[in-house]
Amino acid sequence: MSLKRMVVILVGFYCLMGVMPLFFGGTDYIMNILIMILIWAVVASCWDVIMGFAGIFSFGQVAFYVVGAYASAILSVSLHVPPVYAILLAAVITGLFGVLVGLPCLKLAGPYVALVTFAVHMTLVPFLRGPMGRAIGSGGAQGILTVPPVSLFGMTFSSEHLVPFFYLTLFLTIICTIILVLVIKSYWGTAFLALKDSENFAASLGISAFKYKLMVFGLTSFITGLFGALYAHYVGMLSTRMLSMDVFTILMIMIVIGGIGKYPGVVVGAVITVTLNQFLAPMGMYRPLIMGAIVVVLVLFLRDGLVNPIIRLISSRQKAGRTGEYLS
Amino acid sequence: MKKTGFLAVVCAIVMLSGVSGYSADTIKVGVPLAETGAYAGSGDNYWKGIDMAINEINKGGGLLGKQLEVVRFDSQEFAPEVVMQGANYLCGKMKVASVHAGWAGWGQDIRAYGKYDAPFFCDDGAMPAVDVYKSNPEKYSNTYFITDTGGDQANSMFSMLTALPYEYPNKKIVIINTDDAWGMEVGDTLSKRFKKIGWKVAKRETVPYGTNEWGPILTKIRRINPAIIHIEIPSSQEVITFFRQFIKQPTNSILSYGWSITPLEVLTTLGKDADGIVGEMPAGMPAPKAPNSKSQAWVDQYMSIYKHPVPAGSWIAYTSVMAWADAVKAVGDEYDFKAVNKHLKEAGYEGLQGRIKFGENNTLHAQPAAPIVHYQVQDGKLVALFTDPPLKPYGDYKFQVPRWIKK
Amino acid sequence: MFLEIVDVFISGLINGSVYALMAVGLTLVYGVTKAFNFAYGSFYNLGGYFAWLLLIPLTVVGGYYSVFFLAVPFFFIVGYLLEKVLIAPLRKYDDWEMKVMMLTLGLSLFMDFGYQSVFGPRIKSLPSIIDGTVEIGKVVLFQQDIVIFILSVSGMLCFGWVLNNTRTGMAVQAVAQNPAGAQIVGIPKDFIFAATFAISTIMVGFGGILLCQKNFVDPMGSTDIMIKAWVITAFGGMGSIRGSLYAAFILGMLEAFVGWYFGMIHVQIATLTLLLVTLAIRPQGLMGRE
């Protein structure tokens, strides 16, 4: 996708999101959904950059998100670090963790990367629930129930002050989105495309796959950790349920709807998925049933996700329209 | 291209705002329960009690002349954001007049529903939840804990175990509990109490949910040969597999199951094999004969609807719906939360077993009208041996020495 | 002390045999078709519900004999159709391995909650195949455990024999080793893919019946099974059947001894740490080929 089109879509999207509180500022239910959309949009975008652009088949995205959340919560609850610094520190910790995970596995072939990263994901559950987690302050199975809200410039940002928190999230979202767009459209992005096309050929040009993959892995882990931490201070409570397959699948649906490597389709994917998930919540056990069916159908029938074909349809119509005008 | 993003957002808004059809001739009652996942069994028990109460009220002409309408929400496995989502949906969006939740979490639920004012009835039974309440009693004043905490229940279990008409061959106890707030609390309290009277806690094992292979633990238990084995796992699978594997080579131990005796499947699966196990139910209904004719009529009605004995949670969930309805009737306005809360706290409610009153920390502590009931399985049925407080034998039912204990 | 260790050892052996039966199917499918089936645990549950349906509401004549007899064609058809309808169409994409993982992950969510909506969220129990105990000296064994051990070991031997001695088995091996070459010599690759998937479904379905009659049919139990099978497959080496056999018994023993010596709470973290360390040092697992 061209840079121009990408920027137009993203700017349009964030402008729209930016004015939403004017209409729904008083409705907690909808504000909560909007905030979750912003958070998930970035987390899913990071995954898209890892999978779609860097071609790293990582299953560790939820794990990084949780590491960020827990790191920040533990720092601020057990060590009394002010939340703002805790969030930044947690992002750095997650970034380093990402590099640590990346070191052994990024040299491996596709499915093995999935294996190792998913193993990390699964190890986190007994680790955080068990005695070791409790020793570092994870609260065991009960989790952490008293994560303090962010206060900055004398203002409090938390689930009780939704509008300020929304704008704080929006601000961070925009910064991270700019970083991701720069990555995709930079020399790195081009290098990745080259790597995806032919690793051997790219290597002969002097592009080191490993170095770039590790860099992008670290960076996306950093951003994911940042939003995990932000989320921790938003809900104020954490538990290992965040690592359930349900959350993992929801994140995956965003990518499937958006199309892998079709950034920023995944952002729209996040909007649709978060809204749909909330909308289906009152249906109890039929919600995951429907979500599962959606994944199966979309993977089976949509090569590039749901968003891209629509864009193509609209732009081809526009073109057709214009040619029509031109002729008449 | 802007259109795509725009379209998606518009779709989202339409979907979000489309459902809030608001009609004034019914009273909405929120019921967030675990409908899926590991706690779905307990969620089902609460639901049966709540459903029975609501049907009864509706059949009797409704509340303040309006029918009750249930709004359900699946709180899954109580992930904090899901619980918060539920609170925002039920209280914020659907504007329910009260929330009946059963087991709803271990503190996350108090925070989520504390943001709103509608009365919130929960059966968390864990200290962390009460601690959240205590951090700001003003804000969380709409919270009602419908049973005692794990610690208090464990104290009662201790009193019962030491009061059993049975001479323990030694002073060794093995305690096995889950790794969550409930299990740890009960395990800690029991081991503290038993140590104080000179017993030895020969083994204390914390197990994760999903433990079905007990071989390694049983090997150790057989060497210890303790007088009591206490299991505190609020999930049926684990305690059933434990019993099956224990019984193939039993030790001379009283099997104390605590709350773990209550999941419905324990007795339906084990039947008469389970004879001899002891356990408890907080805010329970003594069985097989209820304490009075009103209660007996209720139990009979329950059995005729659901075709199984009353499991933990059903009766107290039923009672809390009735208590809330009673308060609303007295106040005359279901949305005057302040007055409803005041009435609930001050007047209590005349339940089937007597007048219940919420005490310290808005908790329905064990009381004669909502006692902790200690049972033993006899002939495949729960038979009440004691009620507490005060701890006293119930009816004419007698403790039987389990068949696996050799003289 | 010695007796205790014997007890724990037996416990590990029985665990291992069950794990082996569960994991071998997953390994086989990956080895032959390179498709990683995340819905594997849900097929395990399908086995449990299949047996429950036949035995409790339908009270089929012949009890477990009929269940096992009917299970073979049932799971073959289910597995075969699923491969043809859901997996095979994905092969035309170049990132199909990823797509298969995603699809099966969605499928498992769909199946797990499908069971809940059809059969309810409560667990179901099956009658035991056999009751009673055997005493050898001071060691007491469940007859049930012995049956599980014998059935899963003989199932595995039988499977190994099919793989090495029949035309179909050898064709499967040929496709696993060199799909293009196999096609050139006239082995119908697509059929072999679907058949392999079907065979693995039979294996996991049997595992489900055997284990569910010992424990329970639990609609949410599939995640645990999936993780177990997955750990064994990864630990033993993706696609190596011998490797996953060793891995199953090593993990069974590890679980039993860690649980006995350190406590049950450390079991899961111990197995996963072992897996992580193995993958970091030797990503292809114990016996895998790179």
Instruction: Tell me which chain B residues have a C-beta less than 8 angstroms from the C-beta of A288.
Output: 36
More confident residue, B51 or C151: B51
The residue in chain A having the minimum alpha-carbon distance to the alpha carbon of residue C93 is A303
C108 to A293: CB separation less than 8 angstroms, yes or no: no
Contact B5 A285 (CB under 8 A): no
A174 falls within a domain: yes
Cα-based angle B225, B228, B230 (whole degrees, multiple of 5): 120
In a domain, A219, yes or no: yes
For B364-398, write each residue's pLDDT tens digit: 999 999 999 999 999 999 999 999 888 999 988 99
The pLDDT, as a whole number, for residue A323 is: 45
Task: Tell me if A245 and C238 make a contact (CB, 8 A cut-off).
Answer: no
Chain B CB contacts of C263 under 8 Å are 205-206
What is the reported pLDDT for B20?
A: 44
Domain hosting C41: range is: 24-220
Inside any domain, residue A255: no
B250, B225 Cβ separation under 8 angstroms: no
A7 touches chain B (CB under 8 A): no
Query: Are A268 and B5 inside 8 Å of each other by CB?
Result: yes
Both B257 and B378 in a single domain? yes
- The mean pLDDT of C33-51, rounded to a whole number, is 90
Mean pLDDT confidence for C203-221: 88
pTM of the full structure: 0.88
**What pLDDT sits at residue B256?**
95
The three-state DSSP-derived secondary structure of chain A is CCHHHHHHHHHHHHHHHHHHHHHHCCCHHHHHHHHHHHHHHHHHHHHHHHHHHCCCCCCCHHHHHHHHHHHHHHHHHHCCCCHHHHHHHHHHHHHHHHHHHHHHHCCCCHHHHHHHHHHHHHHHHHHHHCHHHHHHCCCHHHCECCCCCEEECCEEEECCEHHHHHHHHHHHHHHHHHHHHHHHHCHHHHHHHHHHHCHHHHHHCCCCHHHHHHHHHHHHHHHHHHHHHHHHHHHCCECHHHHCHHHHHHHHHHHHHHCCCCCCHHHHHHHHHHHHHHHHHHHCCHHHHHHHHHHHHHHHHCCCCCHHHHHHHHHHHHHHHHHHHHHC
B10 interfaces chain A, CB cutoff of 8 Å: no
**Which subunits sit against C, judged by 3+ Cβ pairs under 8 A?**
A, B
Residue A96 domain flag: yes
Chain A contacts of C283, Cβ < 8 Å?
Answer: 104-105, 108, 112, 115-116
Which parts of chain A have pLDDT scores under 50? 322-328
Structural domain boundaries, residue A192: 3-244
Residues B255 and B241 in one domain: yes
Residue A97 inside a domain? The answer is yes
Tell me, what's the pLDDT at B8? 52
Please report whether residue A320 resides in a domain: no
The CATH number assigned to the domain holding B256 equals 3.40.50.2300
Question: In this complex, how many residue pairs, one in chain A and one in chain B, have their CB atoms less than 8 Å apart?
Answer: 142
Q: B251 is in which domain, residue-wise?
A: 151-283+371-393
Residues B181 and B56 reside in one and the same domain? no
Q: Is A314–B78 a contact, with Cβ atoms under 8 angstroms apart?
A: no
pLDDT, position C290: 53
Q: Which residues of chain B have pLDDT under 70?
A: 1-24
> What interface predicted TM-score (ipTM) does this complex get?
0.87
Residue A92 belongs to a domain: yes
**pLDDT confidence bin for C79, thresholds 50/70/90:** very high
Tell me whether residue C252 is in a domain: no
C122:B269 CB<8 A: no
**Residue range C106-135, pLDDT digits in tens:** 999 899 999 988 998 888 888 888 888 888
Selected residue of A20, A31, A241 to mutate for chain B interface (largest B Cβ count, 10 A): A241
Give the number of domains in chain C.
1
Residues of B in contact with C267 (CB under 8 A): 208
Task: Please choose, from the candidates B252, A304, B69, A171, the residue with its C-alpha nearest in 3D space to the C-alpha of residue A163.
Answer: A171
| Subunit contact B36:C116, Cβ cutoff 8 A | yes
Peptide bond into C121 cis (omega under 30): no
Residue A179 lies in a domain: yes
Whether A5 sits inside 8 A of B85 (CB atoms) is: no
Residues of B in Cβ contact (< 8 Å) with C121: 35-37, 40-41, 43-44
Residues of C in contact with A286 (CB under 8 A): 113, 117
C257: distance to nearest CA of chain B, Å? 7
CB within 8 Å of chain C, chain B residues 254-283: 264-265, 269
- Report if residue B94 sits inside a domain: yes
Is residue C109 within 8 angstroms of chain A, CB to CB? yes
Domains in chain B, number? 2
Residues of chain C numbered 234-253 and touching chain A (CB < 8 Å): 234, 238
Cβ–Cβ below 8 Å for A292 and C107: yes
Same domain for B378 and B248: yes
In a domain, residue C243? The reply is: no
Using pLDDT thresholds of 50, 70 and 90, give the confidence band for residue C148. Answer: confident
Cβ–Cβ below 8 Å for C15 and B213: yes
Contact C259 B219 (CB under 8 A): no
Say if residues A246 and A292 touch (Cβ distance below 8 Å).
no
Q: Looking at the domain assignment, is residue B258 inside a domain? A: yes
Q: Quick one: B100 and B55 in the same domain?
A: yes
Inter-chain touch A122–C272, beta carbons under 8 Å: yes
